[in-house]
């Protein structure tokens, strides 16, 4: 199969996942299994774990960039694959937490409240935007189109890094208000 045919196929998958994942997260975010009568324990232990995974993702992304700059392509590939797995683990834990636990409201007041909501808003918007960016970057690498891979990776990396770091920042800012 030619690269053009493969790319066309991948682009359809990327488009579908870029729509399905945010919609599924939004839909499941609004579902609380306990409120629906299911006898499940709240998974209140998950936020520090998935915040740590976000931090780990940031470190892995930086290590992946260092690896490729040092000509270690296989290490770069493995680190990025691990970063994708970490992001997937984060997402699954995030959904599980919100499906079993009551949402925590940010209790800060004054200017810090605006800072928190700005960080949260940009984190959410960019976490949606980064999905097709990461998948397109991955696709171009898998197809061996390294020139186009590098071009989009220069945009994908800082966005993905911002999402990973702000995930930790949001957790640290809201953690005093967990019950």
What pLDDT score does 23 carry?
A: 94
What pLDDT score does 2 carry?
A: 81
Distances (CA, A) of 11 to 90, 119, 136, 154: 24, 30, 8, 20
Per-residue pLDDT of the chain (179 residues; tens, 9 = 90+): 688 899 999 999 999 999 999 999 999 888 889 888 899 999 999 999 999 999 999 999 999 999 999 999 999 999 999 999 999 999 999 999 999 998 889 999 999 999 999 999 999 999 999 999 999 999 999 999 999 999 999 999 999 999 999 999 999 999 999 87
Q: Where are the alpha helices (DSSP H) in 70-110?
A: 73-100
Q: How many CA atoms are closer than 13 Å to the CA of 76, on its beta-carbon side?
A: 18
Question: What's the whole-model pTM score?
Answer: 0.93
| DSSP secondary structure string for all residues of 124-152 | HHHHHHHHHHHHHHHHHHHTT-HHHHHHH
What pLDDT score does 17 carry?
A: 96
Cα 116-119-124 angle, rounded to 5 deg: 120
Of 44, 57, 50, the closest CA to residue 178 belongs to: 44
8-state DSSP, 2: -
Q: Residue 143, exposed/middle/buried by CB under 10 A (0-12, 13-18, 19+)? A: middle
End-to-end CA distance of the chain: 55
What pLDDT score does 29 carry?
A: 81
CA distance 97 to 91: 10
Of 120, 131, 158, 106, the closest CA to residue 25 belongs to: 131
Of 129, 116, 136, 139, the closest CA to residue 160 belongs to: 129
Domains defined along the chain, listed by start: 3-177 (1.20.120)
Of 174, 158, 148, 145, the closest CA to residue 3 belongs to: 145
């Amino acid at each position: 199969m030619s690269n053009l045919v493969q790319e066309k196929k991948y682009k359809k998958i990327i488009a579908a996942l870029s729509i399905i994942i945010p919609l599924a997260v939004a839909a499941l975010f609004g579902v609380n299994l306990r409120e629906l009568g299911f006898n499940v324990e709240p998974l209140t232990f998950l936020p520090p774990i998935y915040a740590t995974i976000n931090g780990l993702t940031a470190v892995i992304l930086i290590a992946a960039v260092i690896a490729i700059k040092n000509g270690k392509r296989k290490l770069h590939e493995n680190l990025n694959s691990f970063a994708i797995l970490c992001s997937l683990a984060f997402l699954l834990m995030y959904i599980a937490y919100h499906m079993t636990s009551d949402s925590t409201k940010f209790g800060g007041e004054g200017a810090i409240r605006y800072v928190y909501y700005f960080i949260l808003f940009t984190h959410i918007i960019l976490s949606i935007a980064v999905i097709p960016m990461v998948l397109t970057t991955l696709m171009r690498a898998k197809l061996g189109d390294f020139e186009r891979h590098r071009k989009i990776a220069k945009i994908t990396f800082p966005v993905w890094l911002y999402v990973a770091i702000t995930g930790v920042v949001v957790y640290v800012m809201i953690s005093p208000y967990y019950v």
